Structure 1
């Protein structure tokens, strides 16, 4: 939940973000929206609690509710391919340079920084919402014990099957799961359509589709280069396309 900060037009407050999310967000460095610091509260028993953190204002490509204008309203079609490549570079940088997995990679968690950041060599695209992230190579039990969730419509077939084998729901995310989420994000970015919209509210039907490797229709994307990138990303985590 984000709030504007009075007297700070370029700063927002993320409420209910715990210390671990704040630390992961900071560790993401130039892959994440810049943070300004934590908001702490001293409880009645003297315990110091993290109530969230401050970060720079950024423009969402699509709102979390899915009710915002389509991506083309933020990114003109003429700039779509360039931003798609920036998405791919951003996620690669997160995995290779920062050595951790986002865990909930979707278009709603990709934002564009204010124009004040135009001189940044890495571009304006950034990630947010690292609450479900984990370091590459980290003991999976550490992540599992925190009782995380996942965004079902972005869950890869491989992650679903792995969770069922391990008796976990969901399984700890991997780099390949992030790449699957990136593929679905690119599809959504190009089409503006809701993922698995025909199964809205049908959780069992969605799980069955994912279990069988079902996914989006790549041919609905009108850019041939984007289609090839999509196929490569989705196949890496069990999609049948």
Structure 2
């Protein structure tokens, strides 16, 4: 029986041995359980430590909707010789942020005049991803980056899934303040917390991301640290205050997207 490519040693290019790369410290960013590092000698490449095989596969399958991945980072355990994936390499990209929000390191702060253009790019990006039958599972402004050509792309597919796969194989989490009312209620019916994400949940997250883009505020920031209070708000199908968005077109787009996730608005 042939050894799977990701289990071969030494790794088959473009996969690499962890000992073959040297990272710059401190880390570029920390997201959830993973850390992002620049790679010495490769200024346009970053190493996502603790990125998982499934995440790598989804990001690769997303094609031009995602920040390109460049190979898995492999480690051979000294204790038993087992080869494991401990992360992956991908292109360096630029975070975006609203002018009134806190700017992440190396972020591109968008002037108000570009908001509508970025909004339409966000919508088109998510439509293309869904056409590939992939649910991102964690759509938020922080996971939308500009590549080296200035095009919007997605990252962080750790909570994603294929539309047609068995829901029972999904094991993930959610960003508490981006979870749709429908997803919360579906999870309670299924006995899962959270429920596997759907296209409609992505669209709800897209609506909140556009709201964040225009307001510079995190969704439900008044509920920070109050999980029970937020869940009660979601059960009532309440959501963010869309009147805070000053662009009439964007306001209507956001309303439509939030309704797809079960919000009464």
Which of residues 136, 151, 169 in structure 2 aligns to 1:142? 169
Report deviation, 1:189.
Answer: 0.5
Match of 1:210 in 2: 234
CA positional deviation for 1:39? 0.6
Structure 1 unaligned regions, length at least 5: 119-123
TM-score, scaled to structure 1: 0.90
Cα offset for 1:53?
0.7
CA distance in 2, matches of 1:73, 1:193: 16
The structural deviation recorded for 1:68 is 2.4
Distance 1:33 1:81, change over 3 A: same
Count of aligned residue pairs for this structure pair: 226
Residues in 2 aligned to 1:79 and 1:194: alpha-carbon distance in whole angstroms: 19
Q: 1:90 aligns with which of 125, 131, 154?
A: 125
Aligned partner of residue 202 in structure 2, secondary structure: helix
Correspondences of 1:151-166 after superposition (within 5 Å)? 151-166=175-190
Within the candidate set 179, 198, 214, 1:190 is matched to 214
Which residue number in structure 1 is paired with residue 109 of structure 2?
74
What is the CA-CA distance between 1:125 and the residue it aligns to? 0.2
Name the CA shift for 1:76/1:132 in 2 (closer, same or farther; >3 Å): same
Tell me, yes or no, if the aligned pair for 2:125 and 2:152 is still in contact at 8 Å: yes
Post-superposition CA distance 1:61-95 (Å, at most 9, x none): 149xx8426xx962221111011000000000000
Q: What is the RMSD computed on CA atoms of the aligned residues?
A: 1.5
39-48 or 171-180: bigger deviation: 39-48
Residue 228, structure 1, aligned to residue 240, structure 2: no
Mapping of residues 165-184 of structure 1, within 5 Å: 165-184=189-208
In structure 2, what is the Cα distance between the partners aligned to 1:219 and 1:62? 20
Counterpart of 2:88 in structure 1 is: 53
Structure 2: how far apart are the matches of 1:60 and 1:127? 10
Structure 2 counterpart SS, 1:39? strand
- The Cα shift of 1:200 comes to 1.3
2:72 to 30, 35, 38: 38
Cα shift at 1:207: 0.5
Q: Distance in 2 between matches of 1:103 and 1:73?
A: 24
Q: Deviations over 1:129-188 (max 9, x none)?
A: 001111011111111xx3x11101000000000000011100010000000000000000
Alignment TM-score, normalising by the size of structure 2 = 0.82
**8 Å CA contact retained: 2:94, 2:108:** no
TM-superposed deviation, 1:194: 2.0
**1: CA distance, partners of 2:218 / 2:194:** 22
User: Which structure 1 residue ranges, 4+ long, deviate > 2 Å from structure 2?
Assistant: 66-69
Q: Which fold has the larger relative contact order, with Cα–Cα distance below 8 Å and residues 6 or more apart in sequence? A: 1
Structure 2: state its 5+ residue gaps. 1-34
Does 2:154 match 1:130? Answer: no
